[in-house]
Amino acid sequence: MSIEWTGSGPELLLRVDRNRPEPLREQLESALRESIRAGRLAAGERLPSSRALARDLGVSRGLVTECYAQLQAEGYLVTRGGSATRVAAAARPPVDAPSPPATLAGPTALVGPVALAGPTALAETVGPVGIDFRPGVPDLSSFPRERWSRALRRACRDVPSDLLGYGDPYGDPMLRDVLAAYLRRVRGAAADAAHTVVCAGYAQGLQLVLRALAGEGVRVVAVEDPGDPDHRAAAAMAGLDIVAVPVDEHGVDTGALAATGARAVLLTPAHQSPTGVVLAPGRRQALIAWAVARDATIVEDDYDAEFRYDREPVGALQGLAPDRVALLGSVSKSLAPALRLGWILCPPRLSADVARQKRLADRGSPVLDQFALADLLRSGHYDRHLRHMRTRYAARRAALVDALGRYAPEVEVRGLAAGFHAVAQLPPGTDERAVVEAARRRSVALYGIGGYLLDPPERRTSPARLVLGFGNLTPDAISDGIAAVADLLRGG
């Protein structure tokens, strides 16, 4: 089924590298051909306008126009007067599922978003808090209430009566079709609606996958260290043993992973939680080789992939090995956690068991909400909302960098390439816990990286670091909060 994106400027994941010897036009043509051949762009799908694509890729509009004209001459695209450029019906024969790319092609330029992980489980704030730098919380005031309410009204009006009973545990077929097309387009995923399961947010999706893996006989799961505490809690709830694998500036240490007895690993490769590093290309390949050799499964938390600033995000790891990777995402960061809507792109062997686990858990996610989300995705309002939010978060990110530079220049800030949290490395000898406690006495909630570490305190050698969330704070609140604790951050 071809998805009709009715909004302006649908977004795409395309490979463009200015360091390669090939001209940019040749790279763009090759990237579009590959997307069409691999099924990430289906017959009849509309492409961005030449102006929109040129703006997003940072190239001239003439270059894009010439690229479109060449692909039209080759039969890949069709253009009619007064209409958008679309993928030609005969460009690729229909298949059951898109073919994934066989190898990693280096850095990729993303022109589009995707929704991400659930809330981070951290220690509760003690006492009254005026300014809360809790990571993982989006700008809740920016939820598109009017657009969502319109989408819900349309769902109430249009949903067939026979779909108001207990639905398909995989999720509504229309939403799954739209999600699969969307994730192929913006994340380079090898997404197949037949193996997509709609779930109640990332947290439930992770539980469903872990239960299915336990049913396959998996007993040990590896987690990143430092890493999301929710990953550890979910693995424990599924009855799995946990082994920690260190994270460095290149992402998870695949050599250390290979030395464990794990047959599954939970990862945040696009924007590691909490350090913010991106899994290096060589480690991506090593990780997939490990999964194949060990008959193992990679659970990919597509964390913060839609909010990026200074770097070109890579595509989803799942696109390289869909039979070995379960890709999990949600609208908790992109829209609001309260919606409790997410998805799992399952390896084919797991999809039936994951859907069975979903049916046993709650008989399926709310049908009207699924219709509303499909409406937002297909209409282009979801894309536009994310573009708006990237601008807002970029301003708050700049406010944090400015405040730290003004009030605590001794603090080194990392992990700012994407998302809406940063990691602040405090001066040597600083007591992380003492800083957090003293800040809370000043009604400022800070969060140390200690809550993300698996090793006990007596074995930790990492420096004192804070994970500073800025998504739900105004620029003024960010500045005021840093000013209030500046002496603590400086080690004074």
Average pLDDT on 417-445 reads 93
- Rounded distance between C-alpha atoms, residue 230 and residue 203, angstroms: 8
List pLDDT tens digits, range 416-427. 888 899 999 999
Q: Is the pTM of this model over 0.75?
A: yes
Residue 339 has pLDDT above 90, yes or no: yes
- Rounded distance between C-alpha atoms, residue 187 and residue 40, angstroms: 10
Residue in 291, 250, 242 with CA at minimum distance from that of residue 272: 250
Q: Is the dihedral of CA 27, 33, 34, 39 positive or negative?
A: positive
- Rounded distance between C-alpha atoms, residue 23 and residue 16, angstroms: 10
Residue 121 has pLDDT above 70, yes or no: no
Among 35-44, 84-93, 149-158, 397-406, where is mean pLDDT lowest? 84-93
Q: For position 97, what pLDDT does the model report?
A: 38
- Rounded distance between C-alpha atoms, residue 439 and residue 446, angstroms: 7
Percent of the chain clearing pLDDT 90 (strictly above)? 65
Reported confidence tier of residue 306, pLDDT bands at 50, 70, 90? confident
Of 94 and 450, the one with more pLDDT: 450
**Exposure letters 169-188 (e unless 16+ CB within 10 A, then b):** bbbbbbbbbbbbbbbbbbbb
Residue 368 has pLDDT above 80, yes or no: yes
Ordered domains of the chain (ranges, CATH): 12-95 (1.10.10.10), 131-144+383-489 (3.90.1150.10), 146-379 (3.40.640.10)
Q: For position 459, what pLDDT does the model report?
A: 47
* Distances from the Cα of 98 to the Cα of 93, 144, 320, angstroms: 11, 32, 12
> Hunting for tokens 């039979």 — which residue is that?
323
**For the residues of 289-342, what is the DSSP string, one character each?**
HHHHHHT-EEEEE-TTTT-BSSS-PPPPGGGT-TTTEEEEEESTTTT-GGG--E
H helices present in 60-101, as ranges: 61-73
**Exposure letters 118-133 (e unless 16+ CB within 10 A, then b):** bbbbbeebeeeeebbb
Residue 360 has pLDDT above 90, yes or no: yes
Q: For position 73, what pLDDT does the model report?
A: 78
- Rounded distance between C-alpha atoms, residue 50 and residue 8, angstroms: 12
Contacts of 249 (CB under 8 A, 6+ apart): 277
Residue 375 has pLDDT above 80, yes or no: yes
- Compute φ and ψ for 50, nearest 5 degrees: -60, -35
List pLDDT tens digits, range 11-59. 777 877 888 888 888 889 988 988 888 888 888 888 888 888 888 888 8
Average pLDDT on 423-444 reads 94
List pLDDT tens digits, range 166-225. 889 999 999 999 999 999 998 999 999 999 999 999 999 999 999 999 999 999 999 999
Contact criterion met (CB below 8 Å) for 195 and 344: no
* Distances from the Cα of 151 to the Cα of 139, 147, 377, 392, angstroms: 21, 6, 10, 24
Average pLDDT on 336-351 reads 97
Q: For position 44, what pLDDT does the model report?
A: 86
Quick count: other Cβ atoms within 10 Å of Cβ 374? 23
Of 67-71, 163-167, 333-337, where does the model show the most confidence? 333-337
Of 253 and 126, the one with more pLDDT: 253
